[in-house]
Amino acid sequence: AGMAGAFLMEIRRRTQSALLVIRYAAAELPSAPVEVSVCADSLEVRSGGSCDAAALPAGVRLAPSSCRGLRRLRGDGLHLRVRLRGPPPAADVVCTLRESLKSNKNYILYCQSCGDIVVKDRKFLRVLPLPSENWSDLVEEWCCHPDPFARSTLHPQHGDCFLGDTFFLLNSGNESHVPESPKSKENTRVICKRCKTMLGETVSSETIKYYVTEVIIQLAEGSFSPTPRSQFVQSMVAQCLLELSSAKSTFRFTIKGDNGKTYILIWLLNSDTLLVESLGSSSSHSVFTQFGDILIPSAGPVGAWNAVKVLYQPCIKCRNKDLADAWENDMGVHPLKFPSETCLELLLILGLSTASLPPSLRCINSFQVRNSFY
């Protein structure tokens, strides 16, 4: 009767192994012996007169004979490790903005927060990647004479879309939400007319920078489908981490606001994680959840999600200042810039996810742990 009936399983695709945590609510330690049955396609927990069972998602098959390391941790529940019988379902292919945008197609830009149309029916004749933001710092290593690009700027024409790491540049055209003549940093902010969310900023009189966390780009013939805010933010940030780590072998990142402040330090630990979670009995819903607004009701009592595992340190209110300064001067650390409000949202999402993990899994050394879904 003391079982919360929930479990969390963290699967590593490369090693085909899993950590399984049978979870208790903090004040619900069982008084009777607990019997855990691990089957190929299901889990069952018996304690006293109660029995909680859950079927595993399709494609996830365990090897019961490989169970080892069973132990109970106060506040966590029962921990054990188990191998899989075969490879789990492959991760969904992440279609980045760079891959999804095509030339000679008409697109509509929506405000992600409220769904209002930001740019209507824009045809992109060219979709081109921008060099990384610190490319000019390396010019001295390339050239034996003064920087030939010092006065060059990259401004898109009306049919252009230039893609950066966390933003894209468009020609402003006649967009009514763009300040006509920005005179200060505050006046360069591009604001949604309906909900007043910051969407980006003006780079010049003819160029707008839109952040990928603030707008949704869809084909003009498609229909707009809203996505919960926290799900969208963590998905876009995870995509940025995956793309940059793959392209540049970079695994440490600083999350900076448009005000220049560093908000978060992130260390990408792995990108081959599959999380499986059972919500168990209704009494545990308010205690344990990894998925937040991602686990939609149609997903049933057990949810599975592809995730990247990150370590992070908050840097607000001068926290971890020495470490942030050291990362700032490290060429192996890649900066990612977002609106300051979004940086705070991301920090809240990270904190809530960490709090939802079993206490023993929340920290590695001085870093906090987070699973980011994509």
Is there a single domain that holds both residue 246 and residue 358?
yes
Is there a single domain that holds both residue 65 and residue 137?
no
Is 88 domain-assigned?
Answer: no
Is 91 domain-assigned?
Answer: no
Is there a single domain that holds both residue 178 and residue 55?
no
Looking at the chain, the whole-number percentage of residues with pLDDT higher than 90 is 52
Residue 154: pLDDT above 70? yes
Amino acid at 95: C
**Which residue pairs from 194-198 have beta carbons closer than 8 angstroms and sit at least 24 positions apart in sequence?**
194/111, 194/114, 194/116, 195/111, 195/113, 195/114, 195/116, 197/111, 197/113, 197/114, 197/341, 198/258, 198/339, 198/341
The whole-angstrom separation of Cα 101 and Cα 39 is: 44
Domain count, the chain: 3
Q: Which range scores top for mean pLDDT: 16-30, 138-152, 329-343?
A: 329-343
Is 89 domain-assigned?
Answer: no
Residue 153: pLDDT above 90? no
Is there a single domain that holds both residue 338 and residue 247?
yes
Is there a single domain that holds both residue 193 and residue 303?
no
* CA distances (Å), origin 171, targets 66, 124, 129, 154, 271: 58, 11, 15, 11, 35
Asked if 30 and 303 count as a contact pair (C-beta separation under 8 A), the reply is no
| pLDDT tier at 292, thresholds 50, 70, 90 | very low
Is 342 domain-assigned?
Answer: yes
Is there a single domain that holds both residue 79 and residue 120?
no
221 vs 170, higher pLDDT: 170
Domain boundary among 172, 193, 219: 219
Is there a single domain that holds both residue 234 and residue 187?
no
Is 340 domain-assigned?
Answer: yes
Average pLDDT over residues 195-209: 93
Amino acid at 294: I
Is there a single domain that holds both residue 213 and residue 266?
no
| pLDDT tier at 173, thresholds 50, 70, 90 | confident
Domain boundary among 200, 219, 238: 219
pTM: 0.85
Is there a single domain that holds both residue 17 and residue 135?
no
Domain boundary among 83, 108, 141: 83
What's the pLDDT score for residue 311? Answer: 95
Is 233 domain-assigned?
Answer: yes
Asked if 265 and 305 count as a contact pair (C-beta separation under 8 A), the reply is no
Is there a single domain that holds both residue 79 and residue 105?
no
Using one digit for the tens of pLDDT, what is the confidence trace for 3-57?
445 889 999 999 999 999 988 655 455 566 778 899 999 998 887 777 888 899 9
**CB half-sphere exposure, 253, CA atoms < 13 A:** 28
Using one digit for the tens of pLDDT, what is the confidence trace for 56-109?
999 999 999 999 999 988 888 889 999 999 999 888 766 677 788 888 999 999
What's the pLDDT score for residue 7? Answer: 87
Is 241 domain-assigned?
Answer: yes
Average pLDDT over residues 290-318: 72
Residue 177 sits in which domain range?
A: 97-219
The whole-angstrom separation of Cα 202 and Cα 239 is: 24
- On average, the pLDDT of the chain sits at 84
Asked if 66 and 84 count as a contact pair (C-beta separation under 8 A), the reply is no
Sign of CA dihedral 58, 60, 61, 65: negative
Is 90 domain-assigned?
Answer: no
